Amino acid sequence: MKRILVSAIISIVLLATFALPVFAVSEETNTTASVTVGAIISITLQDANNDGIQFGTVEPSDTEIFGDVAQSDGTPAIGVTVQSETNTRVDLNIKGEVSGTFALSNWKFSTNYDQSDIRDLTSTYPDLPIYDEAPAGTYAFYQWVSVPVGTEAGTYTATIYFKAEND
């Protein structure tokens, strides 16, 4: 009888021990959290004279290329600033738009004051960006115009567009 009693007690203790996890007071599990941060791109223009791109008054010439009257070496007519809130590197590009007889190819730009990379403006953005994967900062766009001999006297205008994008 005593042995039976001891066996019963041991059995109860073992049962209680194995049954404890069933009555646990805490439990742990997990899941996945994710957040998608979108690209933010913001650019502004720094105008050398705050009056747009002004070439002043010029006489037609087949040899001379005229620059914005306010620009000088180190001070481009237009600086495109990629703002600090831009959270991705961007490709900077330029294009132009004209109306009338004065051809768009007369309007030019360069990134160097010495005109070593001078190019005609085009009506669409070039396939290769002017500045590739540019971080926040200010980027120079020197502005030039050629006025071939034979150009009729008058005032000619163009609209210059600057675009920053993340391709």
Partner 1 sequence: MLRITGKITNLVLIGIVLSMMLICGLPVKADEVSTDAEVNVVDGDTLYGYKNVDSEDVIQEHHALKAPDTHGAGIFFHGWIIIEFKSTIAKSSMISYWASNEGWQKSNIKVYISKDGKKWTYIDQRMIENHHIQKYDIYGNFKNVRYIKITRNAGLFSWLQLDAVGAKRG
Binding mask 36-55 for partner 1 (x = CB under 8 A): -xxxxxxxxx-x----xxxx
In angstroms, what is the minimal distance from the CB of 33 to partner 1?
A: 17
Q: Report the site for partner 1 in 73-132 (rule: CB under 8 A).
A: 78, 80, 96, 107
Q: Establish if 28 lies at the interface with partner 1 (CB under 8 A).
A: no
Q: How far apart are CA 6 and CA 38, in angstroms?
A: 70
Per DSSP, the three-state class of 70 is coil
DSSP assigned state of 144: E
Write out the two tokens for 6.
Answer: 């001891």
In angstroms, what is the minimal distance from the CB of 121 to partner 1?
A: 9
Indicate the residue among 120 and 165 with the shorter CB distance to partner 1. 165
| Contact (Cβ atoms closer than 8 angstroms) between residue 102 and residue 133 | no
> How many Cα neighbours within 13 Å face the side chain of 108?
18
Q: How far apart are CA 133 and CA 115, in angstroms?
A: 22
Residues 6 or more apart whose Cβ sits within 8 Å of residue 61: 146, 147, 148, 149
Count of residues that interact with partner 1, criterion CB under 8 A: 46
Binding mask 56-75 for partner 1 (x = CB under 8 A): xxxxxx----x--x------
In angstroms, what is the minimal distance from the CB of 13 to partner 1?
A: 49
Interface positions with partner 1 (CB under 8 A): 37-45, 47, 52-61, 66, 69, 78, 80, 96, 107, 143, 145, 147, 149, 151-166
